[in-house]
Amino acid sequence: MAGFDASKLTLGEIEKVEDISRLSIDQIGEDGVPKARMLSALVYVIKRREDPTFQFDQAREFTQDQALELLGVGDDENEDEELADDVDPTQPAASDEPAPAI
C-alpha cells in the first residue's frame, strides 16, 4: 500500500488493527491477503483519532475508494505526473556527481 505508513500508528492502534483484521500489520498489501477487513480496521483507527465515537460499523460503510483516499494510497500516480510536469527536457538531468573539471 504505497502512501500508507504503518509506522505512524501507535502500538495500540496496530494491536486494534491486527485484532479486528485477524492479520499481522506486516501483511498489508501482500498478494492473496484479504483486504476488506484490514482496510476497515485501518479506517476505524484513523477516524477514531479525530472522532473517538467513530464505530467499526461506520468504517465498514466506506467504499474502497474512500478508504484508500483516507489512507493516502494511490497518490503516487499523481505525484509522478506532477514531477514529470516539473522536468524541463531541454536541461540536463541533475546528478549527485560533481561536474567534470575543464
**Among 38, 4, 39, which Cα is nearest to 19's?**
38
Half-sphere exposure of residue 8: CA atoms within 13 angstroms, side-chain side:
9
Backbone angles phi, psi at 83, to 5 degrees: -65, -40
Alpha helices in the chain (DSSP H): 11-21, 36-50, 56-60, 64-71, 75-86
Question: According to the model, what pLDDT value does residue 7 have?
Answer: 87
Count the residues in the chain: 102
Q: Comparing 42 with 28, which gets the higher pLDDT? A: 42
Q: Which sequence spans correspond to the domains of the chain? A: 10-75
Collapse the DSSP code of 59 into the 3-class scheme (helix H, G, I; strand E, B; otherwise coil) and give the result.
helix
Q: Comparing 86 with 61, which gets the higher pLDDT? A: 61
State the average pLDDT for the chain: 81
